[in-house]
């Protein structure tokens, strides 16, 4: 039988001010952690990211360390600017992680999913945790009660589904996500809203249900840019945490300092 991991005893006291830079597919999130607590948060785009980072470092001169996580191409000026102000760690698939990684292709695992798994590892030390990240894509990431990352799933996100309907058809319009007025759409626009929103909610509820059937006492965390929009329509009991990925990056930065 596998021995469960005592994750709390292997963790350490946070004692530095850290800058977290999360470059996602569609947006950039910046946060400053002081002893594990978020004291600054900003969401924006990639435009002049190096300038944004410089200003934060100037506003918070106590920043000692920074971590950069990018799922796509990264402007190297960001790293250069950070190095002027603090020690910098760039998250890659080769980075050390506190959990046991049982993913069959760890070299292809997204750095965002590595951060989510780390937050789950420390956030629910003795339990099974499923993280649902509702962003550009919807990702499902499972960490079991032995501290083992098992993998999960990837599917199109909310906005991607709306865009696909417009791009792959001749006449369907591109719409902004909207809560359906009724299950039965009485117009083309209402039918799109009903199909996309209800479809994605049924998917998430169904996946959560399948995981609950396999893992007892499952804790479900919902995060990502569309978490607030979707959480009100999900039937399953979940914990919404918009900064869950940022917390995971802060944990990874602390873990890799040692």
Question: Which residue from 218, 221, 245 is spatially nearest to 234, judged by alpha carbons?
Answer: 221
pLDDT digits (tens, 9 = 90+) for 155-212: 999 999 999 999 999 999 999 999 999 999 999 999 999 999 999 999 999 999 999 9
Residue 33, CB-side half-sphere exposure with 13 Å CA sphere:
27
249 contacts 22 by C-beta, under 8 angstroms: yes
Which residues contact residue 199 at a Cβ distance below 8 angstroms, ignoring those fewer than 6 apart?
161
Q: How far apart are CA 134 and CA 131, in angstroms?
A: 10
Which ranges constitute the DSSP H helices of 43-157? Answer: 49-59, 76-85, 111-123
Annotation marks residue 112 as catalytic:
yes
Is the CATH number 3.10.129.10 carried by domain 100-159+185-257?
no
Residue stretches of the annotated binding site for ATP: 22-29, 136
Give yes or no on whether 17-90 and 100-159+185-257 have one common fold. yes
Exactly one of 6, 34, 112, 182 is catalytic; which is it?
112
Q: How far apart are CA 8 and CA 123, in angstroms?
A: 9
Question: Which residue from 153, 141, 154, 155 is spatially nearest to 101, judged by alpha carbons?
Answer: 141
Residue stretches of the annotated binding site for K(+): 133
Using a CB cutoff of 8 Å and minimum separation of 24, what contacts does 53-61 make?
Answer: 53/19, 53/21, 53/78, 53/81, 53/82, 54/81, 54/84, 54/85, 56/19, 56/30, 56/32, 57/19, 57/81, 57/82, 57/84, 57/85, 57/86, 58/85, 60/17, 60/19, 60/32, 61/85
24 contacts 141 by C-beta, under 8 angstroms: no
Flag whether the pTM goes above 0.85: yes
Residue stretches of the annotated binding site: 22-29, 103, 110-113, 133, 136, 188
Question: Which residue from 2, 37, 42 is spatially nearest to 21, judged by alpha carbons?
Answer: 42
Q: How high is the mean pLDDT in each 10-residue block of the chain (258 residues)?
A: 53 72 92 94 89 95 95 87 94 95 96 97 95 97 97 98 97 96 96 98 97 96 94 89 96 90
Phi, psi values for residue 64, rounded to 5°: -105, -30
pLDDT of residue 120: 97
Q: How far apart are CA 61 and CA 255, in angstroms?
A: 22
Fold exhibited by the domain 17-90: Nucleotidyltransferase; domain 5 (3.30.420)
- Enumerate the domain spans of the chain: 17-90, 100-159+185-257
pLDDT of residue 245: 97
Q: How far apart are CA 202 and CA 215, in angstroms?
A: 20
pLDDT of residue 13: 55
């Amino acid at each position: 039988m596998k021995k469960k991991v005592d994750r709390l005893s292997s963790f350490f006291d946070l004692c530095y001010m850290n800058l977290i830079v999360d470059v996602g597919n569609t947006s950039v999130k910046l946060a400053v952690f002081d002893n594990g607590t978020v004291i600054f948060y900003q969401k924006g785009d990639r435009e002049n990211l190096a300038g944004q980072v410089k200003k934060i470092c100037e506003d918070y001169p106590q920043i000692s360390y920074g971590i950069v996580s990018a799922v796509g191409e990264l402007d190297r000026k960001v790293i250069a600017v950070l190095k002027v102000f603090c020690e910098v760690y760039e998250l890659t698939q080769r980075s050390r992680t506190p959990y046991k990684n049982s993913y069959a292709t760890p070299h292809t695992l997204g750095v965002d999913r590595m951060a989510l798994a780390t937050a789950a590892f420390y956030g629910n030390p003795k339990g099974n945790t499923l993280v649902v990240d509702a962003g550009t894509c919807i990702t499902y990431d499972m960490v079991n009660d032995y501290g083992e990352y098992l993998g999960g799933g990837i599917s199109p996100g909310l906005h991607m589904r709306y865009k696909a309907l417009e791009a792959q058809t001749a006449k369907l319009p591109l719409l902004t996500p909207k809560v359906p007025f009724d299950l039965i759409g009485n117009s083309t626009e209402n039918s799109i809203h009903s199909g996309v929103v209800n479809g994605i909610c049924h998917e998430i509820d169904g996946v959560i249900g399948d995981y609950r059937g396999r893992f007892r006492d499952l804790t479900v965390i919902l995060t990502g840019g569309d978490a607030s929009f979707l959480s009100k329509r999900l039937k399953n009991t979940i914990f919404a945490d918009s900064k869950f990925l940022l917390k995971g990056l802060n944990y990874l930065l602390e873990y890799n300092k040692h």
